[in-house]
Amino acid sequence: MAISKGDQLPDATLVELTDKGPAQISLKERLAGRNVVIFALPGAYTGTCTTAHVPSFIRTADQFRDKGVDEIVCLSVNDPFVMGAWGKDTGADKAGITMMGDPDAEFTKAVGMDFSAPPVGLINRSKRYAMYVQDGTVSVIQAEENPGQCDISGGEALLDAI
């Protein structure tokens, strides 16, 4: 069953590329006492993810911060090296967006947001969604019906919802 409003997010180990190399991140510790936006997508360097989803959060990053958001996290079932490179290539890192990988889809599966599309080479990937999390509890979640769409999960739509 997919995660929904009011649910506490499960702890998971995500990976972030830092100046010192890959760092394992406890999601529970990262969210404790903080307001965080997490937007998840099927894959780094894929079409809609690169041309619509990430840019929507780059455009709205300052507005989220003005609303009291402590961190914006882009999450994908990719390794931290790919996520780090993609953050640089898209400008997400300059916008202050944290790029995190869920390499074995541990978190994605735990929240019921995984899918596979073998014909296009996407296996155990994340559905496209965005959520606003306060102290580890989901306050707003907006998930797309189709992973190729970025309407209700985009930055502007989530900003309006919080």
Please state the φ and ψ torsions of residue 107, each to the nearest 5 degrees: -70, -45
Nearest to 61 by CA among 94, 13, 88, 90: 94
Continuous segment of H or E residues that includes residue 143: strand 137-143
Q: CA–CA separation, 109 vs 14, rounded Å?
A: 13
Sign (positive or negative) of CA dihedral 132, 133, 134, 139: positive
Choice among 14, 44, 49, 131 that is catalytic: 49
Task: Report helix, strand or coil for 156.
Answer: helix
74 is catalytic: no
Helical residues (DSSP H) of the chain, grouped into ranges: 27-31, 47-48, 54-66, 80-90, 106-110, 155-161
Answer for the pair 39, 73: CB distance below 8 angstroms, yes or no: yes
**Would you name the residues annotated as active-site residues?**
49
